Homo-oligomer: A and B are copies of this chain.
Amino acid sequence: MTTSTGSSQERRVHVPLVGRAYDILIGPGLITKAGGEISSRLKGRRAAIITDEHVAPLYLDMIMDSLQTDGIEAVSLTLPAGEKTKSFEHYMAVCDLILEARIESNDAVIALGGGVIGDLAGFAAGTVRRGVRFVQIPTSLLAQVDSSVGGKTGINTRHGKNLVGVFHQPDLVLADSSVLDTLSKREFRAGYAEVVKYGLIDKPDFFEWLEKNWQEVFAGGQARIEAIATSCQAKSDVVVEDEFENGRRALLNLGHTFGHALEAATEYDSKRLVHGEGVAIGTVLAHQFSSRLNLASPDGAKRVEAHLKAVGLPVSMHEIPGTLPPVETLMAAIAQDKKVKSGKLTFILTHGIGQSFVADNVAASEVESFLKEKHPG
């Protein structure tokens, strides 16, 4: 469970990985306290901050000041914003900066930004000197509830997303809830799709709480902090049980197989579809597909669709602007997904709200005929 800390609003989620346990702190104003939180946990006194051009003007000086106050000497690298930054070229540049700054194993690489920065900086932190300390300061809701927790890092290649990387757990995650106030509503919603996912995996009560309280979560304040903390705790529970995704961790991909195919089909054009929107549509599709296979009653799918629609997320392929490629192209993307083993399709399906499971032998023909029904073209 999450535990209260000194402040009345702050929450702490402890991730009890053996030998590499770490804390996720969630609350307002954590960025201004970064120096104290880091210096009390790490032995080293050097840091390299990796950030992007959107985040740097807002928070970089704030963090540099806080680190300096607490005796940590820091350098920084500001990269272009966007998915294209997760490349071999930027990975090389980040490694070079870390080595140039003479970061040793007890010093820290700090990722200040969204999932792109976290994945890239984490990969460099996991490989320079075969691993140095790593601190995540996620600045998007998506990164706070998903990508900053769990240790998956990586970059994209011409063959697909996240195909090169390592598992490298952070030593500390600082999820500053105040920074979410500057997110666009669309970006906040996209992260919210992952919050809903945790309820749908195995927490029906949390899903019900979100149905009732989502407006407060969007408004900010304590409900938002609770939603983030519950999401981090849910992810932590799964990761502690199956760190390297040999089994249960695959549940975190609920909605993601369809979602990734839609992202590929829209050529990762964020004007048409961002990751969280793909997940929202994918989550609805996963529930509808489960119902079609007679694994779940149609009521669950309807509830999921109604809730995501209420918060303003897209819930069907019809809502994606522009023309989608044919079902055959979507099927090819699904087959190339890295969760495919020896040709069989692995899907996360459900028996109802909060009753998801890993199905590793789904017939491609069933998926194809389902998608043909749902496809707008």
Which residues from chain A sit less than 8 Å from chain B, CB to CB?
Answer: 43, 88, 92, 95-96, 99-100, 104-106, 123, 126-131, 152, 154, 157-160, 163-167, 338, 340-342
Contacts and interface: CB of A to CB of B under 8 A. Distances in A.
A153 to B, nearest CB: 8
Given A88-B88, A99-B157, A163 B341 contact: no
Contacts of A106: 341-342
A163 B129 contact: yes
Contacts of A338: 104, 129
A341 B154 CA distance: 28
Given A127-B127, A129-B338, A164 B104 contact: no
A163 B126 contact: no
Nearest to A91: B88
11 contacts: A95-B164, A96-B159, A99-B157, A99-B160, A104-B342, A127-B165, A127-B166, A128-B163, A130-B165, A131-B166, A166-B166
Given A99-B159, A106-B341, A154 B166 contact: no
B88 A167 contact: no
A166 B130 contact: yes
A86 to B, nearest CB: 14
Given A95-B157, A157-B95, A164 B341 contact: no
Chain B CB within 10 Å, residue with most, of A43, A152, A154, A164: A164
Contacts of A129: 163-164, 338
A126 B168 CA distance: 12
A342 B338 CA distance: 41
A95 B91 CA distance: 14
B163 A99 contact: yes
Contacts of A166: 126-127, 130-131, 166
A105 B340 CA distance: 10
Given A95-B157, A123-B127, A127-B127, 19 more contacts: A88-B88, A95-B164, A96-B157, A96-B158, A99-B157, A99-B159, A99-B160, A99-B163, A100-B159, A106-B342, A126-B166, A127-B165, A127-B166, A128-B163, A128-B164, A129-B163, A129-B164, A130-B154, A131-B167
Nearest to A153: B130
Contacts of A92: 88
